[in-house]
């Protein structure tokens, strides 16, 4: 399953940037790190029009392209050179499911958000010669990477738009994510990560259902708003949409991403001082929160925004909750485009 899912046919076209052996924040080494990415549009001669958009949990560059890019939209390839970067562990970039030698599966080293950002920085500078990004944006785990970018490389980012995510995972968020991990690893077929392909589907299905219970709003269920996209019941929707999304994915990949999500903390660079970390940000910042989001509540996002010098909080709304990120809700998409256009024009 996973081998055909993480393919050019499903998620391409994408290219890979080879970083060789890569020293991780943990001190461990990742043997032969490759970052998969897609680009759209043309880099201006002065290299001033580059936008970086890293992927979120369980997503790839493909969904970012489908949900956020297009002529006339904020992220318009006619105007910008847009780099969609796949997270380490998402199945396209180096990941447990296809790591070489003995480093596959549970032997793949733990990765941090900072590892991704450092690798992306090499990609944009070494591959494209970009010294400054017009915009870094991302949703959820993409927001974690966005914050890390602005804190770690404050002089290389002109604007940031973290959407529906936090600079530091909150205690509740870590706890919630652990229930997702436990749903997968508690499947007896998981066998400490040495499962047969496809065997962990019960765990993945339970994980998908927890993801759905929190990821959408109660109103989505209570008003059966999934009818808009062709489903007939809560079970039909959750199975056909959410289980369907996760079933072809590799359990070890997902767990790697979930652990990275839990450990997300842009203040590691300042010894844990979040106030000092966020004060480092020089980018013009639109912090975008989804008012109904149960993964990343508005309150938590707003608390961080107040610590960022040149920032504004933008609240959007969707009955799809956190998972409005997928681009299912035209109202959400329009609001995001409006905010991004305003930010890019600034």
Give the nearer residue to a copy of itself in terms of CB position, either 209 or 341. 209
CB half-sphere exposure, 283, CA atoms < 13 A: 29
Give the nearer residue to a copy of itself in terms of CB position, either 202 or 280. 202
Which of 11, 322, 335, 339 is catalytic? The answer is 322
Give the nearer residue to a copy of itself in terms of CB position, either 121 or 170. 170
Beta bridge partners of 157: 133
Distance CA 199, CA 303 (A): 42
The least distance separating a copy of itself from the CB of residue 112, rounded to whole angstroms, comes to: 21
Sign for the pseudo-dihedral over CA of 322, 327, 331, 332: positive
Give the nearer residue to a copy of itself in terms of CB position, either 126 or 227. 227
Residue 140 designated active-site: yes
Sign for the pseudo-dihedral over CA of 132, 272, 59, 298: negative
Contacting residues toward a copy of itself, per CB under 8 A: 170-176, 178-179, 182-183, 186-188, 202, 206, 209-210, 212-214, 218-222, 224, 234, 238, 294, 297, 299-300
Using the CB atoms, write b or e for 57-75: b if 16+ within 10 Å. bbbbbbbbbebbbbeebbb
The least distance separating a copy of itself from the CB of residue 104, rounded to whole angstroms, comes to: 26
Q: In Å, how far are 176, 207, 261 from 213, measured between CA atoms?
A: 11, 10, 19
Q: Two tokens at 231?
A: 């489903």
- Of 204, 205, 216, the residue nearest 255 (C-alpha): 204
Q: In Å, how far are 169, 225, 233, 266 from 221, measured between CA atoms?
A: 27, 7, 9, 34
Residue 322 designated active-site: yes
Alpha-carbon Rg for the chain, nearest whole angstrom, is 19
Which of 95, 140, 311, 335 is catalytic? The answer is 140
Residue 293 designated active-site: yes
The least distance separating a copy of itself from the CB of residue 215, rounded to whole angstroms, comes to: 12
Give the nearer residue to a copy of itself in terms of CB position, either 30 or 255. 255
Report residue 189: phi and psi, to 5°.
-70, -10
What size, in residues, is the chain? 346
The least distance separating a copy of itself from the CB of residue 257, rounded to whole angstroms, comes to: 19
The least distance separating a copy of itself from the CB of residue 219, rounded to whole angstroms, comes to: 7
Catalytic machinery residues: 140, 293, 322
């Amino acid at each position: 399953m996973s081998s055909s899912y993480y393919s050019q046919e499903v998620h391409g076209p994408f290219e890979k940037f080879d970083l060789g052996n890569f020293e991780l924040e943990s001190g461990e080494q990742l043997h032969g790190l490759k970052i998969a990415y897609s680009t759209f549009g043309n880099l201006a001669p002065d290299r001033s029009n580059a936008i970086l958009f890293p992927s979120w949990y369980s997503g790839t560059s493909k969904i970012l392209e489908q949900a956020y890019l297009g002529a006339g939209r904020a992220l318009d390839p006619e105007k910008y050179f847009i780099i969609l970067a796949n997270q380490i562990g998402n199945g396209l970039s180096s990941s447990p499911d296809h790591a070489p030698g003995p480093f596959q599966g549970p032997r793949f080293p733990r990765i941090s958000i900072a590892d991704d950002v450092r690798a992306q920085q090499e990609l944009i500078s070494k591959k494209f010669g970009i010294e400054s990004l017009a915009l870094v944006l991302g949703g959820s785990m993409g927001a974690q990477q966005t914050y890390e970018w602005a804190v770690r490389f404050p002089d290389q980012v002109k604007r940031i738009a973290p959407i529906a995510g936090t600079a530091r995972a909150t205690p509740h968020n870590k706890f919630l994510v652990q229930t997702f991990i436990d749903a997968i690893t508690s499947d007896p077929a998981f066998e400490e990560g040495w499962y047969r392909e496809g065997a962990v589907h019960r765990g993945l299905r339970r994980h998908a259902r927890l993801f759905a219970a929190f990821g959408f709003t109660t109103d989505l269920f209570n008003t059966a708003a999934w009818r808009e996209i062709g489903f007939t019941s809560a079970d039909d929707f959750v199975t056909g949409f959410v289980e369907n999304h996760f079933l072809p994915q590799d359990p070890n990949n997902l767990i790697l991403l979930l652990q990275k999500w839990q450990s997300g903390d842009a203040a590691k660079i300042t010894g844990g001082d979040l106030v000092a970390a966020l004060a480092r940000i020089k980018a013009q910042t639109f912090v975008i929160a989804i008012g109904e989001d149960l993964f990343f509540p508005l309150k938590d996002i707003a608390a961080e925004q107040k610590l960022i010098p040149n920032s504004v909080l933008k609240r959007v709304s969707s009955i799809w909750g956190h998972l409005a990120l997928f681009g299912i809700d035209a109202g959400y998409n329009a609001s995001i485009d409006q905010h991004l256009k305003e930010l890019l024009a600034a």
